[in-house]
Structure 1
């Protein structure tokens, strides 16, 4: 159990540190429909992480990615490939960062976030967590790592809950803070949004670089 949770923690943090979904949640909280849209978005975000993790764990377990006495070359190779892909995304993020003093380029759909309905917010949250390439790499890495250990179904479930809670925390906390102390939270959320907007590319590049190197190292150690 401890090994499984230890393996997924860096990857859960990798999903959690996702500036764009956090910015989207904050923008929803600053609209007149804050209660319904932000809550739906958070629910979709959590659901996407949980469903993607569960599906990939089932697939990984079905194809026999558990560790043998001599290691599992297939799992090791998957980890290396995931690590290389993360490094590729890190380079892309670094090259795409804005020049000093330039206005950061953000996804166009953020500009229309005030028009999002609760249903669309739910779908958007699900898509950003389960379909986003960066998050999907992290979730696949976590699911493969747990399946590789050959632990019991209970341990897989607990690891999945821990992964989902940590991965979803950074989107959920601003929403909880807003409803707990709306006036104070509004100022804090505005400052956080500005910082994340300005540093999105750099944060993502560093994060992907670190976790990519860790994944490659774990993969090499698995042969």
Structure 2
């Protein structure tokens, strides 16, 4: 299981190092009724990721039953696609072009007026329409499917992937729930810092992980 977690770690870090989602959660937390809205937003993200796991995990398991070793080819293909997508995203971010994985500015501006139900929908939609987020999740599922572990262990591994991919969001929500007064100043400082450095963090993370996944994908094909 430790080896499997090591393989999943790049996908987890790729999710964690996308500042925009933490910025959204922090902005929701700072808004009226923010704790409920932020929790709903994270639940919306989780809901779609669980649905992706149920659907595509079953499809990958069925395909590996039909063809031995196919999981390795699927994982290599997904990593290569993910690497290319990340390199393109890094270039677009450097050129200050719009990132299809990031929500439109109108979403950000309307967070103060959103409800918990709408926040749930925004979280779900953010995962559903993000090409790189799809590639991260499908790559994680392909790796888990190729690990040759039993179904219970596979479910635990995927649940761990979802949890750690959203760990910063969960910790932010828990911090506000446990210490609502102390968290106010922290929310302001963290939001300001992330907003200021969102672009360089996104460029660097996309470039580094783009090169990593592209290499892993090509290497997966060469070693078959």
TM-score, normalized by the shorter chain, greater than 0.5 = yes
Q: Which moved more, 1:125-134 or 1:25-34?
A: 125-134
Aligned to 1:186: 184
Write the distance in 2 (CA, Å) between the matches of 1:71 and 1:41. Answer: 32
Check 1:27–1:54 CA distance in 2 against 1; reply closer, same or farther (3 A cut): same
Contact 2:22 2:168 in 1 (8 A): yes
Aligned to 2:101: none
Write the distance in 2 (CA, Å) between the matches of 1:131 and 1:53. Answer: 16
Check 1:121–1:62 CA distance in 2 against 1; reply closer, same or farther (3 A cut): same
Aligned to 1:103: none
When the two chains are superposed, the root-mean-square deviation of aligned CA atoms in Å is: 2.3
TM-score by length of 1: 0.86
Aligned to 2:150: 152
Contact 2:91 2:203 in 1 (8 A): yes
Tell me how far 1:67 sits from its aligned partner.
Answer: 6.3
TM-score by length of 2: 0.85
Aligned to 2:35: 35
Aligned to 2:64: 64
Q: Which moved more, 1:183-192 or 1:213-222?
A: 213-222
Q: Which moved more, 1:78-87 or 1:187-196?
A: 78-87
Q: What residue ranges of structure 1 are gaps of 5+ in the alignment?
A: 98-105
Aligned to 1:93: 93
Matched position secondary structure for 1:124 = helix
Tell me how far 1:187 sits from its aligned partner.
Answer: 0.6
Matched length = 214
Write the distance in 1 (CA, Å) between the matches of 2:209 and 2:138. Answer: 13
Check 1:96–1:80 CA distance in 2 against 1; reply closer, same or farther (3 A cut): same
Q: What residue ranges of structure 2 are gaps of 5+ in the alignment?
A: 98-103
Aligned to 1:3: 3
Choose which of 150, 158, 172 in structure 1 pairs with 2:170. Answer: 172
Write the distance in 2 (CA, Å) between the matches of 1:71 and 1:49. Answer: 20
Deviations 1:22-45 (A, max 9, x none): 111111111222132122112112
Write the distance in 2 (CA, Å) between the matches of 1:15 and 1:4. Answer: 17
